């Protein structure tokens, strides 16, 4: 480990910066703050593109204030002092964020790309960051950040992964290295998402159709008996909530999954269809409301212009 790495690992960092300040970044900062203090020499800052839009700027500034981070007006301001950067944007913005960060990144800065992207997207981002003197780390977040916060399971890969692990360990995070090139950690994340996000999409298509036809109880019971169920109405309600709250972000991720599968030479119809369903539900902009499958299903169907049938 270099002297710079030892300095990072001992928590003597000046500034931890996040590019993007949505659910993931807010959860990580909350977790970090629960384990660190000003005495550790840690400060937190964030830049989110939503602060550039008058329609969303106020809400994002409120997020900064609530989390106790310094909200910055530009990427240049964010990275001026940062030596540890977490990029946590939507998958379709990851390459744009890397290109925007590169001109301002300081030599030796660790750049944790925690976005849900195809391996080749991560590899292209790494070229941009490393060419600017940064140290790019392929970072795969393997579970929802809530309620685990900074202890969410994370995989790291790439030539700087071992040094990067020391940083995350110092921050109390649950990370491990998957030895291999940049893109290996993301391969695991992307391929796993075929099943995780695909089950959500299957839930929507199967059980929304069943509810529309007025036969969801029979269908769900039949699936349970056959061993092909989705865990009952509680799991169905949860799957719909994920799509309602995060469908747009999940759709962007699944498009990257489709690229991953196609790059392996396999048909990617399942990943593509999953992206379509996630987008449809996410675009509705619905509040998930009470933890109830029927209420959520009816809200989705009503927004799509349907009424439940009682046949």
- Domain spans of the chain? 3-182, 190-301
Q: Which CATH number fits domain 3-182: 3.40.50.720, 3.40.50.300, 3.40.190.10, 3.90.470.10?
A: 3.40.50.720
Q: Could you count the other beta carbons within 10 Å of the beta carbon of residue 105?
A: 25
Give residue-wise pLDDT tens across range 6-54.
Answer: 444 444 557 999 999 999 999 999 999 998 655 477 899 999 999 999 9
pLDDT at 35: 83
CATH number of 190-301: 1.10.1040.10
State the pLDDT confidence band at 308, using cuts at 50, 70 and 90: low
Confidence (pLDDT) at 270:
98
290 exposed, middle or buried (CB, 10 Å; 0-12, 13-18, 19+)?
exposed
CB proximity list for 258: less than 8 A, separation 6 or greater = 268, 271, 272, 275
Domains 3-182 and 190-301 share a fold: no
């Amino acid at each position: 480990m270099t002297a710079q790495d030892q300095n990072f690992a001992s928590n003597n960092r000046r500034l931890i910066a996040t590019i993007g300040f949505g659910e993931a970044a807010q959860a990580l900062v909350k977790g970090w703050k629960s384990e660190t203090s000003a005495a550790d020499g840690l400060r937190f800052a964030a830049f989110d593109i939503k602060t550039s839009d008058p329609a969303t700027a106020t809400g994002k500034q409120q997020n900064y204030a609530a989390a106790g981070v310094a909200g910055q007006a530009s990427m240049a301001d964010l990275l001026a002092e940062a030596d540890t950067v977490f990029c946590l944007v939507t998958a379709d913005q990851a390459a744009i964020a890397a290109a925007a960060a590169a001109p301002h990144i300081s030599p030796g800065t660790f750049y944790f790309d925690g976005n849900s992207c195809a391996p080749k997207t991560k590899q292209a981002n790494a070229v941009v960051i490393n060419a600017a003197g940064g140290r790019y780390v392929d970072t795969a977040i393997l579970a929802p950040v809530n309620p685990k916060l900074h202890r969410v399971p994370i995989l790291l890969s790439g030539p700087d992964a071992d040094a990067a692990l020391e940083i995350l360990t110092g921050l109390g995070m649950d990370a491990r290295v998957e030895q291999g090139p940049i893109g290996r950690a993301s391969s695991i994340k992307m391929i796993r998402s075929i099943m995780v996000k695909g089950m959500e999409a299957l839930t929507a298509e199967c059980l929304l159709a069943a509810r529309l036809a007025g036969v969801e109880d029979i269908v769900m019971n039949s699936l349970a008996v056959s061993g092909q169920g989705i865990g009952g109405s509680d799991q169905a309600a949860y799957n719909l909530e994920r799509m309602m709250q995060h469908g747009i972000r999940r759709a962007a991720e699944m498009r990257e999954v489709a690229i991953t599968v196609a790059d392996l030479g396999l048909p990617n119809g399942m990943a593509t269809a999953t992206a379509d369903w996630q987008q449809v539900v996410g675009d509705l902009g619905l509040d998930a409301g009470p933890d109830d499958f029927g209420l959520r299903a009816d809200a989705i169907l009503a927004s799509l212009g349907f009424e439940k049938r009682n046949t």
